Amino acid sequence: MKLASVLNNRINGNRYRSKVMKDKAFAVSLVVPALIMLILTIIIPVISVVRMSFFEYNLLHMDKAPWNNFDNYISVLKDKEFYLSFLRTITYVFSTVGLAFITGLIFALLLNTEIKGKNLFRGALFLPWTMPQVIIAIVWMWMLQTDYGIMNYVLKSLHLIQENINWVGDPKTAMLSVIIATVWKQMSIMMVIILAGLQTVPAELKEAALMDGANAFQRFWNVILPSIMSVIKTVTLTQIIINFQMFGLFYTMTGGGPVDATSVLSIYTHEAAFMSFNMGKGAAVGVTWLLFLIGFAALYNKVLSRKEIYAD
């Protein structure tokens, strides 16, 4: 009897182990293709760039690429222009994400109410996101052109300015011009994602706040905002990372000028890698930039996670 029970247990155990093994194999077979893609498109290139940053990689003599005793990093960290580019990048990223977030949130809140033609507005407002960066850059360059651009025409007609503003050509306004073009494009995606988040806020939470006598601002601040914090965290972090890498708008609209006023990290890296043919230094800038972003993303996640609330 005892032996039968032991055998039975063993058989059941073997069956269980076999099922677990099968499940594991199935899980692995599902993960492997994604893993291979990840290795080929992200891991290997990142490792190559990190490796490249320690060697003297020059496009003019790629046949020899000797180890150069951290010279690329020393050269980057000693370069005043690197810090200035970094500061310009920070200014651009936070202004852009901040403005796009505020405008996106306002439109999302409006579209979350029962207004007429909601779908039409949503479609129209999402349109800029579907346009390629180069097109957006060209459109805004024309609109901001000093002498025949519509922006100066409108501002002059409203008597807001006396003289035409050289938006893209003046170091004082060039960065603002790129920020305006970026916000116009990115506000749409912020709006759509925040709107999706708003639609998941449980109605009972809002009703409870209403019954407790909370006014509109209190309901927004204490109920809605914390409920969509995970969405806000994801969308803003994604936009911060996208804008840190922004190259197209700067390259097309200003080329980093005038007088380096819009020379952000991506332009600085391009100049180091391709204009100066120094791929090693370009890679070192990229790695420094990557480390900053990893640290920033971790901190950002930690800080914003504290503000989240969960409906369940």
Partner 1 sequence: MFKKSLSILLVLVVMISLVLVGCGQTTEQNDGGETDNAKQAEDKQAEDKQPEKAKITMTSWLEVEQSVEAIFKEMIDAFRSANPDIEVETIGLPFNQYKDQLLVMSTSGNAPDVVMGNSQMMVGFNGAGILAPLEDLISKEKQADIFDNNLAGGTFDGKLVAIPWITHPIGLFYNKELFEKAGLDPEKAPETWDEMVQAAKKVAALKQDKDGNRIYGIGHSIGKVAHAGSVFNGIIYSHGGHFLDAEGKVDFDNAGTREAMQYIKDMVDAGVMPAGVNQKEIRGLFANEQLGIMFDGDMGRAVFRKLSGKGKEFDKIMGVALIPTGKTGKSETVYTEHQLGIAKESNDQEAAAKLIEHLLSKEMIVRYHETNSVLAPSKSIGKLPEMNEDYYMEVFNKQLERARPLPATHPMFDNAMLEVTKALERVSVGKEDVDPVVKETQQKIESLYSK
Q: Which of 30, 42, 87, 154 binds partner 1 (CB under 8 A)?
A: 30
Contacts of 226 (CB under 8 A, 6+ apart): 307, 308, 309
Q: Which residue, 156 or 233, is less far from partner 1 as judged by CB?
A: 156
Tell which one of 168, 183, 187, 195 touches partner 1 (CB under 8 A): 168
Q: Which of 203, 243, 253 is nearest to 223 (CA)?
A: 203
Structure tokens at 266: 């991506």
Is residue 283 a contact point for partner 1 (CB under 8 A)? no
Is 176 a binding residue for partner 1 by CB under 8 A? The answer is no
- Close Cβ partners of 196 (under 8 Å, ≥ 6 residues apart): 231
Contact criterion met (CB below 8 Å) for 95 and 103:
no
Q: Which stretch binds partner 1 (CB under 8 A): 84-92, 112-120, 219-227, 250-258?
A: 250-258
| Residue 70 C-beta: closest distance to partner 1, Å | 18
Q: Peptide bond before 258: cis, by omega within 30 degrees of 0?
A: yes
Among 49, 139, 276, 293, binds partner 1 (CB under 8 A): 276
Stretch that binds partner 1, among 4-12, 109-117, 226-234, 254-262 (CB under 8 A): 254-262
| Alpha-carbon distance values, 74 to 33, 55, 69, 82, 94 (Å) | 39, 12, 9, 11, 28
C-beta closer to partner 1: residue 173 or 222: 173
Q: Which is nearer to partner 1, 86 or 277 (CB)?
A: 277
Nearer Cβ to partner 1 (105/165): 165
Nearer to partner 1, 56 or 89 (CB): 56
Enter the DSSP assignment of 59: G
* Interacting positions 120-149 with partner 1 (CB under 8 A): 145-148
Shortest CB 255 distance to partner 1, Å: 4
Q: Where are the alpha helices (DSSP H) in the chain?
A: 2-38, 44-52, 71-78, 80-111, 118-130, 133-143, 150-157, 174-198, 203-211, 216-219, 225-227, 229-244, 248-253, 265-270, 279-305
Using CB under 8 A as the binding rule, whether residue 79 contacts partner 1 is answered as: no
Q: Which member of 274, 294, 298, 301 binds partner 1 (CB under 8 A)?
A: 274
The yes or no reply on residue 257 touching partner 1 (CB under 8 A) is: yes
Identified binder of partner 1 from the candidate list 275, 299, 303, 309, rule CB under 8 A = 275
Under a CB-based contact definition with an 8 Å cutoff, are residues 279 and 163 in contact? no
DSSP structural state of residue 221: I
> What is the CA angle 103-105-108, rounded to 5?
110
The binding site for partner 1 (CB under 8 A) comprises 26, 30, 59-62, 145-148, 164, 166, 168-171, 251, 254-255, 257-260, 271, 274-277
